[in-house]
Chain A
Amino acid sequence: MPAKRPNNPARELLFGDLWEFDPAPETADPNIAPRYQLFINGKFTAPKSKKYFDSISPRNEAKVSEIAHAGDSDVNAAFEAATAAFPKWSKTPGAERGKYLYRIARLLQDRAREFAVAETIDGGKPIRESRDFDLPMSAAHFFYHAGWADKLDCAMPGRRLEPLGVAGQIIPWNFPLLMMAWKIAPALATGNTVVIKPAETTSVTAMKFASILQDAALPPGVVNIVTGARETGAAIVGHPAAAKIAFTGSTAVGKWIQRELAGSDKRLTLELGGKAANIVFEDAPIDQAVEGIVNGIFFNQGHVCCAGARLLVQESIASEILHKLKLRMRHLRVGDPLDKNTDIGAINSLAQLQKIRDLVQGGIRQGAEIFQTECRLPKKGFYFAPTLFSGVSSSHRIAQEEIFGPVLSILTFRTPEEAIEKANNTPYGLSAGVWTDKGSRILKMSAELKAGVVWANTYNKFDPASPFGGFKESGFGREGGKQGLLDYAKLA
């Protein structure tokens, strides 16, 4: 048992202004057009609705671009194009289909920096993350699935995978381009065609991606991108030509889609919300655990469905973890996401910022103890300081509801069984974290935790080869790996 390392409050490290970093803005040109049309049948097409809406940058509330608002007839045109493209695309030899995906992967890599800047401006995530995570991972998903296209007989023993038809796909705003890659790559690899809708607040990189599809000479209609808000999504869900709906987003909307599809015989996969427990035992490598906790909740401003939002710490090390967490949080640089040194950027939208504020106020009202780092937030734009709550009980709203922001709740436990009980005490089951040096305990805990992804001694790791998806009300179906492939195919 590790000795308690008492933290004398008089001993403080000095994190002052001796050496301040100058602004280090990323200056690459994002090439954002003033207005984006829909991408239907391989062409940029003005919406029949003639309606456009503004995309606002959360970093400074400036208008980024105008986005077409697809109405029912536009969605219909997209499905017509996808339906028309399906027979030829699905019969294109796998090796040839794969080559298109390889091309797309390469073209994304070529223009990675430009896309990263656009992603940051449009969505608010720090350039460090869009540059080092979103873009490389998006390209990796196309690269990975490209190789599957001619090996579809190998994914399920004794069976051949056949495409479903047109896949209707709806993606969220937290990883706009990456979620697009997660959705499109396996759909195309298995021979489906696609109608996809990016989130209302983050359409820019999706439309930029359309130009990559053109450069890759992907046959018209194989991928159609329609932008818009909830009605556009509803039109996709309800479209009779959709053979499958794939949705990533909130649990509430996921339930609505499942109801809508009742009786339709459309396939459905859902990747919904979470309220993951990140469990730290006293024998964990503490400094790496602290880093993992920070990465678990503050990555992408906490706009992550699998965020480690409930920290469960063994009681014997609770004060040490809390102390080290606070220390570590002081080095999180909050501010302009375009600055290369920014760790935590802008909250994606005003609505989301308001939701986070409300939940945090609720936490304070319910008596949890709040800690926020002192940081100067930019005057314009949507920002929220990294926040942690201690003295939280399982019944508190902040411990139950998905906040989808940089807010961590800390609870304690005494035994492994209690940790499992608390971790599983939620309708969600997307992910969980376990930190301990004891190998057998890791295997036991990961078996007991009701979650689709368990990160042991690490957190928030992703890979196209690694299936991702939830238990319980976090949804069904997997994305990535051979398991994800099977959700875009029928077995013959």
Chain B
Amino acid sequence: MNRLPITKTPKCLVGGAFIRSESGRVYPLQDSSGEFFANIPLCTRKDLRNAVEAAAKAFSSWSARSAYNRGQILYRLAEMIEPRAEELVRAIMTTQPDRPAAESEVQTAIDRIVHYAGWTDKYGPLLGSVNPVASSHFNFTVTEPMGIVGIIAPEESSLLGLLSMILPAITSGNAVVALTSHARPYSSILLGEMLAVSDLPAGVVNILTGARADILPTMATHEHIRAVYACVGKAGRTEIQKGCAESVKRTVFLDEEKTIDWHSESAQGLDKIRSFVESKTVWHPIGN
């Protein structure tokens, strides 16, 4: 007699804990052959609120860590995921059965983590400056993380796309609340499970699943979120920008209606980090 395998109940990651939506609602996810795969939490605005609170708690200590320490933690994440790559490949394949594509996506994702691990102690001097002012003052500009960044991940690339958006934000010390792909959430959920056991402090990355219509308006208007990074269409951009205006939130958009090459070099780098830091300029007199 064949043993009946244990199926997993997918959960979201909030403040380091695996949660189901406070609403108790779920939506069914089918695999690529159309079979029922699992029930995915349908998160609500209250789940988002809780995630923001978890992110806020994590932000102060994460942003206060040394750049070196953040780099080590990110590299450790890559180390942890590498031996579990096959798990991620199979997670992607539940909805996208192209194995070579899934393998390539996972490899790029791991390499991207390593890429940003190396940035933590280098973006500062490249984006900051010592400014030669005309008066007798020492004047320098440093960067600081903004705080909590809200992310709307692309529908297409649940693992690489999501990670490519999370990494530049957390590299500089931001905390993140991300909504995954609605149609292909499972690799994101698995990524959450890996983040939870990594050295990344609880709450630095929070991953919600569900419908954009439930999350997006609240993410745009929540005043504690200081920036929104969204891969959405024109209607989404309009809605987010309008909501963000209420608290003068920073917005960075990727156009979902265009094809994004997530494997490209240009999908990572210094300019992405720059989008989620503030410049702070300090003046001090030079004198006896």
Chain B residue at minimum C-beta to C-beta distance from A460:
B283
> How would residues 233 to 251 of chain B score, 1 for a CB under 8 Å from any chain A CB and 0 otherwise?
0110111111011111010
Q: Bound complex: CA of A457 vs CA of B287, how far in Å?
A: 11
Which A residues touch B281, using CB under 8 A? 452-454, 466-468, 481
Contacting pair B139 A476 (CB below 8 A): no
With both chains docked as a complex, state the minimum distance between the C-beta of B268 and any C-beta of chain A, in angstroms. 12
Q: Bound complex: CA of A491 vs CA of B266, how far in Å?
A: 11
Which B residues touch A461, using CB under 8 A? 133, 135, 137, 283
Q: Bound complex: CA of A154 vs CA of B270, how far in Å?
A: 14
Contact of A483 among B134, B141, B245, B253 (CB under 8 A): B141
Contacting pair A255 B248 (CB below 8 A): yes
Q: Does B284 contact A (CB under 8 A)?
A: yes
Chain A residue at minimum C-beta to C-beta distance from B270:
A157
Q: Does A425 contact B (CB under 8 A)?
A: no
> How would residues 464 to 492 of chain A score, 1 for a CB under 8 Å from any chain B CB and 0 otherwise?
01111101111110100111001000010
Chain B residue at minimum C-beta to C-beta distance from A476:
B250
Contacting pair A473 B126 (CB below 8 A): no
Question: Knowing A254-B248, A262-B239 touch, does A471 contact B278 (C-beta < 8 A)?
Answer: yes
Indicate the size class of the contact surface on chain B. Answer: 35 or more
Contacting pair B241 A262 (CB below 8 A): yes
With both chains docked as a complex, state the minimum distance between the C-beta of B73 and any C-beta of chain A, in angstroms. 21
Contacting pair A456 B248 (CB below 8 A): no
Most chain A CB inside 10 Å of its own CB: which residue of B226, B238, B247, B248: B248
Q: Bound complex: CA of A467 vs CA of B128, how far in Å?
A: 10
Q: Does B8 contact A (CB under 8 A)?
A: no
Contacting pair A466 B141 (CB below 8 A): yes
With both chains docked as a complex, state the minimum distance between the C-beta of B44 and any C-beta of chain A, in angstroms. 24
Which B residues touch A158, using CB under 8 A? 270
> How would residues 131 to 157 of chain B score, 1 for a CB under 8 Å from any chain A CB and 0 otherwise?
111110101010010100000000000
Q: Does A455 contact B (CB under 8 A)?
A: yes
Q: Does B3 contact A (CB under 8 A)?
A: no
Q: Does B32 contact A (CB under 8 A)?
A: no
Contacting pair A451 B248 (CB below 8 A): no
Q: Does B285 contact A (CB under 8 A)?
A: yes
Number of interface residues of A (CB under 8 A): 48
Contacting pair B247 A263 (CB below 8 A): no
Q: Bound complex: CA of A458 vs CA of B234, how far in Å?
A: 46
Q: Bound complex: CA of A472 vs CA of B135, how far in Å?
A: 28
Q: Does A140 contact B (CB under 8 A)?
A: yes
Contacting pair A446 B248 (CB below 8 A): no
Q: Does B50 contact A (CB under 8 A)?
A: no
Contact of A456 among B131, B226, B244, B284 (CB under 8 A): B284
Chain B residue at minimum C-beta to C-beta distance from A473:
B248
Contacting pair A272 B283 (CB below 8 A): no
Q: Bound complex: CA of A463 vs CA of B274, how far in Å?
A: 23
Question: Knowing A465-B139, A481-B129 touch, does A451 contact B241 (C-beta < 8 A)?
Answer: no
Q: Bound complex: CA of A470 vs CA of B284, how far in Å?
A: 19
Secondary structure of the A side of the interface?
mixed
Contacting pair A454 B283 (CB below 8 A): yes
Question: Knowing A458-B284, A461-B135, A483-B129 touch, does A258 contact B241 (C-beta < 8 A)?
Answer: yes
Contacting pair B283 A453 (CB below 8 A): yes
Contacting pair A452 B280 (CB below 8 A): yes
Question: Knowing A140-B134, A258-B245, A463-B139 touch, does A263 contact B238 (C-beta < 8 A)?
Answer: yes
Question: Knowing A254-B248, A442-B284, A458-B137 touch, does A463 contact B131 (C-beta < 8 A)?
Answer: yes
> Which residues 107-159 of A sit at the B interface, judged by CB distance below 8 A?
140, 156-159
Contacting pair B285 A482 (CB below 8 A): no
Question: Knowing A262-B245, A452-B278, A472-B248 touch, does A467 contact B131 (C-beta < 8 A)?
Answer: yes
Q: Does B271 contact A (CB under 8 A)?
A: yes
Chain A residue at minimum C-beta to C-beta distance from B236:
A263
Q: Does B279 contact A (CB under 8 A)?
A: yes
Q: Bound complex: CA of A455 vs CA of B285, how far in Å?
A: 9
Q: Does A393 contact B (CB under 8 A)?
A: no
Contacting pair A446 B239 (CB below 8 A): no
Q: Does A427 contact B (CB under 8 A)?
A: yes
Q: Does B282 contact A (CB under 8 A)?
A: yes
Contacting pair A263 B129 (CB below 8 A): no
Which A residues touch B245, using CB under 8 A? 255-256, 258-259, 262
Which B residues touch A140, using CB under 8 A? 134
Which B residues touch A17, using CB under 8 A? none
Chain B residue at minimum C-beta to C-beta distance from A262:
B241
Q: Does A29 contact B (CB under 8 A)?
A: no
Contacting pair B279 A483 (CB below 8 A): yes
Which A residues touch B271, using CB under 8 A? 156, 159, 491
Q: Does A261 contact B (CB under 8 A)?
A: yes
Which A residues touch B242, using CB under 8 A? 259, 262
> Which residues 26-77 of A sit at the B interface, judged by CB distance below 8 A?
none
Contacting pair A453 B241 (CB below 8 A): no
Chain A residue at minimum C-beta to C-beta distance from B122:
A157
Which B residues touch A491, using CB under 8 A? 271
> How would residues 296 to 336 of chain A score, 1 for a CB under 8 Å from any chain B CB and 0 otherwise?
00000000000000000000000000000000000000000
Q: Does A426 contact B (CB under 8 A)?
A: no
Which B residues touch A457, using CB under 8 A? 284-285
Which B residues touch A465, using CB under 8 A? 131-134, 139
Question: Knowing A467-B141, A476-B250 touch, does A456 contact B241 (C-beta < 8 A)?
Answer: no
Q: Does A270 contact B (CB under 8 A)?
A: yes
Q: Bound complex: CA of A225 vs CA of B282, how far in Å?
A: 34
Q: Bound complex: CA of A270 vs CA of B241, how far in Å?
A: 14
Q: Bound complex: CA of A190 vs CA of B27, how far in Å?
A: 50
Chain B residue at minimum C-beta to C-beta distance from A136:
B134
With both chains docked as a complex, state the minimum distance between the C-beta of B23 and any C-beta of chain A, in angstroms. 28
Q: Does A265 contact B (CB under 8 A)?
A: yes
List 4 extra interface pairs beyond A255-B248, A454-B281, A481-B281, CB under 8 A. Answer: A262-B240, A263-B238, A272-B248, A447-B144
A-B contact pairs, 10 of them (CB 8 A): A156-B270, A261-B241, A262-B242, A265-B253, A446-B282, A447-B144, A456-B284, A471-B278, A475-B248, A486-B274
Interface residues of A (CB under 8 A from B): 140, 156-159, 251, 254-256, 258-259, 261-263, 265, 270, 272, 427, 442, 446-447, 451-458, 461, 463, 465-469, 471-476, 478, 481-483, 486, 491
The 3 A-B pairs at the shortest CB distance, nearest first, are namely A263-B238, A262-B241, A258-B245
